[in-house]
Structure 1
């Protein structure tokens, strides 16, 4: 397996005509796996924990039908899947969540299973949400498993995806993100979030902080504006080109990650990968919902 995304998938309710909502399945790590699969065509897997109920079955079937490997999904009898609803205003989104029953919260409850899941993977992808849904002791289990996988040759890519509402405090969130940064090879922070919660005054400050934390490669996203790449001390700005008018920004950063990481796995330079990520995200934000149909995505 070339790429494994690890985290929480949820039922998504997105706005439709007449005040109705459209049901889908999404979640930051699943979104990135979706776009990796669309761009790579094979070698992409998703790991999570689902229930044994009808909605969990439907989600697993949906993921598998997209061509994403589901063999590393575990089931639990006591829980189901979480749900979120999107509200839109001028293309910008806000979310309401129901995730207390999410089986993905048990992701690191079985260290042996987790170690087996991460074995033999070229690149492992996790996010700050993956960390946030776990109890602190289980978060430590996950980080230990990621370090073991790195020692065995895997590369770990990490999007901090800062979501304060998932944490007991901003202090806990920032501490956990910093700890996770030490376990990653590629960091994919978004500057606006990092500036708000870490106080970064520039894209360079964000890149330097993650590099100092342990990441050899940092891709600082900037909401469609000029980006910054950092690789082993070499820093370079990237101008993404003309802006686009979004319909729905849900999944923008996740799709960027799919474009960027698929390009890096294919041997592209950091600048080429950054432009690829932007090109993918520019298509996705002009489509409602987190997951743009694969057959509509122009690689």
Structure 2
């Protein structure tokens, strides 16, 4: 039977500097980047990939939907909000590191959890549900409550619920609100995919191991603490393990590296691989992504990476 991976969040128009005062337009966003990666890594006959969001009724929204569908991503649970646009962001690169400027205050995706019945229907058959701290940040407290209620139902029926804190302080009213939201996200999850510098800054963890133990304490059964080019820390089955990253001599663009790592991990876990095996695939995927510009790489490349090392 085909499994279902559902990713919940916001996709935006991406503008990347193409030189000469010109920008290259694309579509991206943390949860879409991960859905894209999972789609490229898993055979459609084995895994359906669904994106759960809301878009507007303008030309850009129509193009975004066609982009999803062209990639083989299920859009049957993408809602419409007439009169609201999709968000937009611009990437600035300094070397291979990036910074972002956003225009998203009235984005349709902010209402993705407004209708709890529609959200419940979108996730009812999902074997794995993925969301992020950005997903939480764009929602009102009431709509965030709808999302957590549906995630609790999914967890109770045995679904994997995966969460990446993906900390963005500017999206929250205060650091206290951010910290509370991230903790609630962890409590809803069975798999956590945090980044160590974020956790250290927000919670004061002095090592990836300390972060892993703290997050496991929220009731998360698998914790994978990413740490850039350094080894990641896996806490699963009551044991902790450090797994080296794949070194890249000259990275081109780190945009989407963490999102692609998450895709590798979740695709492997859905395919029945052990957590440690999943981490090793995730490292290979992230290493390949940072050798290309932009958050999304060609799916043919991802299929090559998915082959046994």
Normalization by structure 2: what TM-score?
0.94
Q: Please say if 1:186 is aligned against 2:188.
A: no
Q: Which residue in 2 is equivalent to 1:48?
A: 53
Distance 2:248 2:207 in 1: 20
Q: Secondary structure at the match of 1:182?
A: helix
- Maintained 8 Å contact 1:123/1:157: yes
Q: Which residue in 2 is equivalent to 1:261?
A: 266
Correspondences of 1:72-111 after superposition (within 5 Å):
72-111=77-116
Correspondences of 1:204-283 after superposition (within 5 Å):
204-283=209-288
Deviation at 1:242, TM superposition (A): 2.8
Among 1, 7, 10, the residue aligned to 1:5 = 7
Correspondences of 1:162-173 after superposition (within 5 Å):
162-173=167-178
When residues 158 and 244 of structure 1 are mapped into structure 2, their CA distance, relative to the original with a 3 A threshold, is farther
Distance 2:207 2:21 in 1: 40
Residues 176-198 of structure 1: per-residue CA shift (max 9 Å, x gap): 11011111000000001111111
Q: Which residue in 2 is equivalent to 1:18?
A: 20
Q: Which residue in 1 is equivalent to 2:39?
A: 37
Runs of 4+ in 1 over 4 A off after TM superposition: none
Distance 2:204 2:274 in 1: 29
Q: Please say if 1:131 is aligned against 2:168.
A: no
Deviation at 1:267, TM superposition (A): 1.4
- Maintained 8 Å contact 2:52/2:75: yes
Deviation at 1:266, TM superposition (A): 1.1
Deviation at 1:91, TM superposition (A): 0.4
- Maintained 8 Å contact 1:124/1:157: yes
Count of matched residue positions in the alignment of Structure 1 and Structure 2: 299
Where does the alignment leave 5 or more consecutive residues of structure 1 unmatched? none
Distance 1:37 1:194 in 2: 28
Q: Secondary structure at the match of 1:236?
A: strand
Distance 2:247 2:80 in 1: 45
Residues 173-230 of structure 1: per-residue CA shift (max 9 Å, x gap): 0111101111100000000111111111001111111100110000110102111101
| Higher deviation after alignment, 53-62 or 234-243 | 234-243
Q: Secondary structure at the match of 2:163?
A: strand
Q: Which residue in 1 is equivalent to 2:159?
A: 154
Q: Which residue in 2 is equivalent to 1:200?
A: 205
Q: Secondary structure at the match of 2:252?
A: coil
Q: Secondary structure at the match of 1:145?
A: helix
Q: Secondary structure at the match of 1:137?
A: helix
Q: State the superposition RMSD in angstroms.
A: 1.1
Q: Which residue in 2 is equivalent to 1:28?
A: 30
- Maintained 8 Å contact 2:246/2:287: no
Deviation at 1:49, TM superposition (A): 0.4
Distance 2:137 2:69 in 1: 26
